[in-house]
Amino acid sequence: MIQERDTIAALSTAPGRGAIAVVRISGLATAEAVRRFCITKGPSAIERPRVMTRVDVRSDDVFIDDGLAVYFPGPHSYTGEDCAEIFLHGSPLIVRRLLTELSEKLGIRPALAGEFTRRAFQNGRMDLTTAESVRRIIDARSQYELQGAQRLYSGELKRSIARFRSALMNLKAETEAEVDFSDEDLTFESKDARRRRVHDLLQQIDDILARSGAAQRVSEGFRIALIGATNAGKSSLLNRLLGWDRSIVSDVHGTTRDYVSEDVELGEFRVRFIDTAGLRLTEDSIEREGIRRSIEEMKRSQLILHLIDGSRESIEINEALEYELSQSSESKKIIHVLNKVDILHERAQSDTYFDGIRRNGTFELIRISCKTGEGVDVLHRRIVSHLEEEPGGLDPFLLEERHRHHFQAMREALQRLLSLWSDGAPDEICALEIDTALQNAADITGEITTEDILGRIFSVFCVGK
């Protein structure tokens, strides 16, 4: 049976071979583990807390490794308990040997997933929103996600909840005081004033949910489809944007017979580029299927890059491209990219060349050469600026699904409160809805939690955290 007071240990660095490996220990037996396994010629790591100490790592007289050790006496440690970190050479065999000896000699058990951070929360070293942000920091796949996680870690959400709780407590105090001292000659805030305060709280909740929803969509990654006629240079452009050869480039029409996708970090954002099959009429059943899939990818993308072969006399327009041109002004952005400016057809130098693809709204054109690289940096910057213009693009306010659930529950409780006031319900009944809102605010930061909720949150952490 797992006990909360067990001393735990785990590898805190990434598994596998590496330059170093760090074993973390937390619990009552930590000091004994450092004394017994970390041997020094001078003052021990216990005598020099929070100072890195050179040690021989031994089990009795058996040498395990030479390394470094640092001891953090509680409560001023990551977990709030006595903690230690032992730095070893990055061999899995050395790590396994030390963890085995700790278990056999001192009964120090392997940590569960997220158990160090769970103990930090339970010992008051961090609130639940901060604990959850630790996992987001580790799992971040882009600078955008990392910034959002760091904002949570710095306490942005915690401060917002503190303001909500303060406003709700004031509202509850006013409501209950009017009940308790109704026969006293006291002046209370009017119902209209309290209604305005509740409407202000509802607006704040709506703003938070909207910001979070937009940020979540950005965090999940943008989809950018490269479309155009065969041999327009889509695969060459994808390779240029990625910085390596992902797609096959050939002068043969229809080389890309199915869409090719690749994730990349562009600026601060995670982006999936989709190199679609060239859009053309064809009798080849395999190529037709590739074109059908490409059209589906185009519909799911937030941005379309339409590649135009500038070496041709005219721009080829087919049913699929016509559909995207008609949709772009309403639901998504389309940027026309004139490729092959190094071998440009004379007709492509005239504005009338583009008359067939102009539609209502803004017509945006960028000129490039995938062969020479001319203009690709301009396109790159334009894509990043478009991503920043998206809702949430510059506001990485990320919430967990659990947070959104409690904000929604707070919202519903406050809406019921307004309805009760409108119906003339007794203040004692109205105060219950304020209590519900307060309960959900406390649940976000973890001031009121249950074991099953904690189990779900920390089970998705890595073991050494």
Is 235 marked as binding a ligand? yes
Distance CA 303, CA 334 (A): 6
253 is in an annotated binding site: yes
Burial class (CB in 10 A: 0-12, 13-18, 19+), 296: exposed
The rounded distance, in Å, linking the Cα atoms of 152 and 129 is 7
Query: Any known ligand binding at 40?
Result: no
| DSSP 8-state code for residue 53 | E
Residue 192 CB neighbours (<10 A): 9
Ligand-binding annotation for 361, yes or no, is: no
Residue 41 labelled as part of a binding site: no
Which residue's structure tokens are 């001031």? 447
Question: How many Cβ atoms from other residues are within 10 Å of residue 26's Cβ?
Answer: 29
236 is in an annotated binding site: yes
| Cα(148)–Cα(203) distance, integer angstroms | 22
Is 267 marked as binding a ligand? no
| Residue 169: closest CA among 157, 180, 158, 177 | 177
Q: Is 386 annotated as a binding residue?
A: no
Determine the Cα–Cα distance for residues 255 and 246; give it in Å rounded to an integer.
13
φ and ψ at residue 187, rounded to 5 degrees: -105, 125
Q: How many CB atoms lie within 10 A of CB 107?
A: 10
N-term to C-term CA, the chain? 21
Burial 200-222 (b: 16+ CB within 10 A, else e): ebbebbeebbebbebbbebbebb
* 243 marked ligand binding residue: no
* 232 in a labelled binding site: yes
What token pair was written down for 360? 């209502």
221 appears as a binding residue in the annotation: no
Tokens (6 digits) for 36 = 């017994």
252 is in an annotated binding site: yes
Q: Would the annotation count 419 as a binding residue?
A: no
CB 336 within 8 A of CB 348: no
Residue 276 assigned to a binding site = yes
Phi, psi of 100 (to 5 degrees): -65, -45
DSSP code of residue 283: -
| Residue 102 contacts residue 84 (beta carbons within 8 Å) | no
**Please, what sign has the CA dihedral across residues 398, 147, 215, 438?**
positive
> Which tokens sit at 438?
């307060």
Which string of b and e fits 334-360 if b means at least 16 CB within 10 Å? bbbbbbbbeebeeebeeeebeeebeee
User: Would you say 172 is a known binding-site residue?
Assistant: no
Angle between helices 92-106 and 30-37 (to 10 degrees): 120
Binding residues for GTP: 231-236, 250-256, 275-278
Binding residues: 24, 85, 125, 231-236, 250-256, 275-278, 465
Binding residues for K(+): 231, 250, 252, 255
Binding residues for (6S)-5-formyl-5,6,7,8-tetrahydrofolate: 24, 85, 125, 465
Binding residues for Mg(2+): 235, 256
